Amino acid sequence: MTNKLILAIETSCDETSAAVIQNGDTILSNIVASQIKSHQRFGGVVPEIASRHHVEQITLIIEEAMKEAEVSYAELDAVAVTEGPGLVGALLIGVNAAKAIAFAHDLPLIAVNHIKGHIFANQLVSRLTFPLLSLVVSGGHTELIYMSGPDSFEIVGETRDDAAGEAYDKIGRVIGVPYPGGKHIDEMAHRGKDTYNFPRAMIQEDNYDFSFSGLKSSFINTVHNARQKGEEMDSNDLAASFQAAVVDVLVDKTIRAAKDQKVKQLILAGGVAANKGLRTSLEEAVRMELPGVELLIPPLSLCGDNAAMIGAAAFVQLEKEEYSDFTLNGQPGLSV
């Protein structure tokens, strides 16, 4: 039995995180320092502020992760870090910290794709079975990714404009909930009804792509028109109507793609995987329409950005000795 230990670092956006992962599936520690409070008054992530917080936090968070795991640097087998996609200044803090540790302790350096990390968050609670299809929904991404094996990634569908989480956060601003709006809209949606019947963009189209900017505009126009006319609106119904439109399209296209690709497993991943409406609808649809297909959804603690998922994804690369050298850089636009 191997016993490989990876120190993983994640700084792609507004969470500074470090984790120690054993054999790609066991969390020894996973420290996540959120910066949300610092960005909230600006209504979104301010890249410059994000970088500064990462610089202040990174050493402390790494030390905390090592201490909690009760692991010494000499016991580590590799250092893994998010290479991209993300904010370049934020990524660079993690990449440079990882390089320094790899150099100082003579450890292999593993560059991990953040999207792959979100998928591998599921490996920390279950076993991945291939072929699988993964719906990755976050603040920056909405992608359907087919995997025939642990190191094979094919994008079969993606958003043509806004990411699902981005649409949540933008309409959250319009109805005055704090950033990031997704969680708040989700809670309001459960107190309201789908009365506005917003458009389900591209649901009829014969592809696995998504579009959320039309829905966002439709939502904003509805709210502005009502405000101009002085009409009262029920915020919970607005939230429920928006959520129903997002969830309908995500579930419909994901189920269709999973059927067509004949997968064994369906995976939900990314920050929006925390959405209660999406989790419930997808569970129901898989039960009804995909008998025999196993659905994996990470626990809430592993849906948002965290370093544990980076350590889980890195294990596949460790086994193949897929290492980076010290020219490693942050790649803001990195694809899977």
Which residues of this protein are in contact with Zn ion, per CB under 5 A?
138, 305
DSSP string of 12-53? SSSEEEEEEEETTTEEEEEEEEE-HHHHHTTTS--HHHHHHH
Partner touching 317 among ligand KG4, Zn ion, none, CB below 5 to 8 Å by kind = none
Question: Do 167 and 192 form a contact (C-beta atoms < 8 A)?
Answer: no
Partner touching 309 among ligand KG4, Zn ion, none, CB below 5 to 8 Å by kind = none
- Decide: residue 70, CB within 10 A, 0-12 exposed, 13-18 middle, 19+ buried: exposed
Partner touching 157 among ligand KG4, Zn ion, none, CB below 5 to 8 Å by kind = none
Judged by beta carbon, residue 62 or residue 303, the one nearer Zn ion is 303
Give the shortest CB-34-to-ligand KG4 separation in angstroms.
Answer: 9
Look at strands 78-84 and 5-10 and give their pairing.
parallel
Alpha helices in 70-157 (DSSP H): 88-105, 114-120
Q: Is 206 assigned to a binding site? A: no
Query: Where would I find the beta strands (DSSP E) of 43-166?
Result: 78-84, 109-113, 132-137, 142-147, 154-158
- Decide: residue 194, CB within 10 A, 0-12 exposed, 13-18 middle, 19+ buried: middle
Partner touching 165 among ligand KG4, Zn ion, none, CB below 5 to 8 Å by kind = ligand KG4
Provide Rg for the chain, Cα atoms. 20
Judged by beta carbon, residue 123 or residue 241, the one nearer Zn ion is 123
Cα separation, 32 vs 261, in Å, equals 35
Partner touching 275 among ligand KG4, Zn ion, none, CB below 5 to 8 Å by kind = ligand KG4
Q: Is 192 assigned to a binding site? A: no
Give the shortest CB-141-to-Zn ion separation in angstroms.
Answer: 7
Give the shortest CB-131-to-ligand KG4 separation in angstroms.
Answer: 24
Q: Is 169 assigned to a binding site? A: yes
Give the shortest CB-312-to-Zn ion separation in angstroms.
Answer: 14
Contact set with ligand KG4 (CB under 6 A): 13, 138-140, 165, 168-169, 180-183, 186, 270-272, 274-275, 304-305
Place of tokens 């959120």: 34
Judged by beta carbon, residue 77 or residue 162, the one nearer ligand KG4 is 162
Q: Is 106 assigned to a binding site? A: no
Judged by beta carbon, residue 285 or residue 303, the one nearer ligand KG4 is 303
- Decide: residue 16, CB within 10 A, 0-12 exposed, 13-18 middle, 19+ buried: buried
Cα separation, 222 vs 232, in Å, equals 12
Judged by beta carbon, residue 143 or residue 305, the one nearer Zn ion is 305
Q: Is 305 assigned to a binding site? A: yes
Q: Is 89 assigned to a binding site? A: no
Partner touching 16 among ligand KG4, Zn ion, none, CB below 5 to 8 Å by kind = none
Residues 6+ away with beta carbon under 8 Å from 23: 2, 3, 4, 315
Q: Is 44 assigned to a binding site? A: no
Give the shortest CB-106-to-ligand KG4 separation in angstroms.
Answer: 32
Judged by beta carbon, residue 292 or residue 333, the one nearer Zn ion is 333
Judged by beta carbon, residue 137 or residue 257, the one nearer ligand KG4 is 137
Q: Is 12 assigned to a binding site? A: no
Partner touching 331 among ligand KG4, Zn ion, none, CB below 5 to 8 Å by kind = none
Question: Do 170 and 185 form a contact (C-beta atoms < 8 A)?
Answer: no
Q: Is 182 assigned to a binding site? A: yes
Known binding-site residues for Fe cation equal 114, 118, 305
